[in-house]
Amino acid sequence: MFDIPWERLIYLLPAIIVALTFHEYAHARVAYALGDPTAREAGRLTLNPLKHLDPVGTLLLIVAGFGWAKPVPVNPWYFQGNRKKKIMAVSLAGPLMNLLEAVAGAGVMSLLWHFIRSDSGLMQGLLYFLFYYVQINVVLAVFNLIPVPPLDGSKILAGLLPDRSMNLVLGLERYGFVILLVLVFVPGLLVRFGLPRIDILGVLIGKPAFWIINGIYTLVGMG
């Protein structure tokens, strides 16, 4: 049904599973550290991928280049002090984890490339995995920073706004999935009706991800 070479899936699927799992684990860990036991009680304070993966979100990440996992439950009423800042911290944890994973993956790739050069199948497979791992993590980080509920970016934006505006942004969460679907399918519909294609997600995700990936490779000496 999807034109995806099976050879690519061998490397892509493990990269997606690891990236999504650590992203959600980071949310759960930071929330728990700030006093909210909700994620732990829901069994989400774990690195078991089965607790975090969402079938639809994982499939879309494979075929469309973006996706999501099951949202980690957070109850901000457990937070003491400045709840806004703590909600922002929990929300930032996932994207920041993905960026750290991307840097780590690129660093390992650089070490292998410069110091353990080999033409073996194992080495080539590992390099392919790391190549996809870096890309997936950066795309996940950028995608989740889009300020559309229920993505992390919406909660970060809400934390920067006055209370009234914050509630307005958070209130859009019930429509978040519909908004994301519109962003995905509008470009294709425009073309179908003979209108210019406006690739909204390409602008919001593709270009920033490209710049970040290039920056990370330059940082680790593979620019």
Question: Of 7, 24, 101, 173, which is the active-site residue?
Answer: 24
Q: Is residue 1 part of a domain?
A: no
Q: Residue 63 pLDDT more than 80?
A: no
Q: Is residue 148 part of a domain?
A: yes
Say how many domains are in the chain: 1
**Cα distance from N-terminal residue to C-terminal residue, the chain:** 36
Which residues span the domain enclosing 10? 6-219
Q: Residue 77 pLDDT more than 70?
A: yes
CB under 8 A, 24+ apart: contacts of 178-183: 179/148, 179/149, 180/148, 183/148
Give the CA distances from residue 186 to residues 10, 19, 49, 154, 192, in Å, rounded to whole numbers and listed in that order: 31, 28, 32, 21, 10
Question: How many residues comprise the chain?
Answer: 223
Q: Residue 94 pLDDT more than 60?
A: yes
Calculate helix-pair angle for 163-171, 152-160, nearest 10 degrees: 160
Catalytic residue flag (residue 7): no
Q: Which region among 8-12, 137-141, 191-195 has the lowest average model confidence (pLDDT)?
A: 191-195
Residue 47 and residue 205: Cα distance in Å, rounded? 26
Model confidence over 101-125: pLDDT tens digits?
Answer: 999 999 999 999 888 776 777 888 8
Q: Residue 1 pLDDT more than 70?
A: no
Residue 44 and residue 74: Cα distance in Å, rounded? 11
Residue 184 and residue 135: Cα distance in Å, rounded? 19
Instruction: Pick 193 or 132 by higher pLDDT.
Output: 132
